[in-house]
Amino acid sequence: MTQYFGTDGIRGEVGVNPITADFFLKLGWAVGSVLAEDGKASVVIGKDTRVSGYMFESALEAGFLSAGVDVSLLGPMPTPAVAHLTKAYNASAGVVISASHNHFEDNGVKFFSSKGFKMCDKYQHKIEKKFAEPMVSVGSSFIGKARRREQSLGRYIEFCKSTIDDSVNLSGISIVIDCANGATYHIAEDIFSEFGANITIINNSPDGFNINLDCGATETTNLQHKVVELGADLGIAFDGDGDRLVMVDSDGVLVDGDEIVFIIAKAWKEQNRLKNNTVVGTKMSNLGMRQALSSLDINFIEAAIGDRFVMDEMQKNESSLGGEGSGHIICLEKTTSGDGIISALQVLEVIAKSNKTLSQLKSEMEKFPQVLINIQTKKGLDLSTNKDLINLQQEVEKELGDDGRVLIRASGTEPVVRVMVEGKDLSLVQMSATKLAKIIS
């Protein structure tokens, strides 16, 4: 871990260091200076719909230009679209201004390499080392040039459509799509309606302040009600920057990332498309998913929590599919990052070809009850010396037995400790999680 970079870029409250305009100005210069060491460099910059995005876009742009780096401005764009367009435009790096699923008060920045993958630790360390130096602009003859890429949306839409069989016909299927008032608001309807589905879009009117507000992949209550109210076949929910996906079946029941990964894995296995017969998840991946994959003779590999760690394990083990219960799903044979739209299209292709409903596909995996409690804490809180917590955790694990587990960890993106308890007995799981959370709080 570096001074500024967390598990997914830099993120925090706007106006509080390091999420300030002057920091982003120098960050753009530092990143640009590192990229320019290999010769003339260029970057693409996208953002979600937060009101602060304009401020940080301008600051980063000025920083890059002062380092002699050319800048292409993409405007509001899903994070995975920036990853794809970085490679498509032959840019040296891609930049996304976003705080993902957080509310508008927060913002942040993520970086992609020239190949569309999350920037590696080596570059992050080089950037922070450069950041410690005084900021010095290149001479006037070498200042970078900026342009707006007006055709970027169309390029990304066509790319998404190309990731499923063009014979897929979704006519007769009704879908409610929740855009979280975020970066998919001007893309989702065009993509999914192209395949003949009857589309209803909700939360697609961003105003800079309503991103992720009681909507999207982290708050699906309204979507669940809307699917039932309209008698729709299913619902799709993205988060603010479009890299997460969760779904809702026709009964209004949530289908999370683990269940989506299982649905895709089973179909790809049957089609001999599941590379190396392996799926990558994390410590949080549901026991039910693990057991269901095992019953299909599919290997499961556990990565550290965070989509960049999932990606690392996928590349190391030559896997084409990985993801998290939160909805970060990586279809590596299709794209280089977690992509909510592309993941949803893979599920819709399975539905169209199998003639099964989302509910039927979901039912092929028995999900274990899982309770997750987030506790606000001071940053850097050390729980390893709390004997009461250690003893209680051991007692809980003994009571849960082989069909349950406990995971307590500090978030890599927020000042919270997450307590997760999982097992077959929901009441025992809830009671155990509450006890553990009480000691921590």
What positions carry a catalytic annotation? 100
Torsions phi, psi for 341 (to 5 deg)? -65, -45
Pairing of strands 146-148, 174-178: unpaired
- Which contacts qualify for 52-58: CB closer than 8 Å, 24 or more apart? 52/14, 52/104, 52/107, 53/97, 53/98, 53/107, 55/21, 56/21, 56/24, 56/97, 56/107, 56/109, 57/97, 58/21
One-letter amino acid for residue 272 of the chain: N
Q: Which two tokens stand for residue 279?
A: 């799926």
Whole-angstrom Cα distance, residue 300 to residue 11? 31
C-alpha to C-alpha distance for 438 and 77, rounded to whole angstroms: 40
Tell me the C-alpha distance between 234 and 232, whole Å: 6
Quote the crossing angle between the two packed helices 21-36 and 53-66, to the nearest 10°: 40
For residue 380, is it left (φ>0), alpha (ψ between -120 and 50) or beta?
left
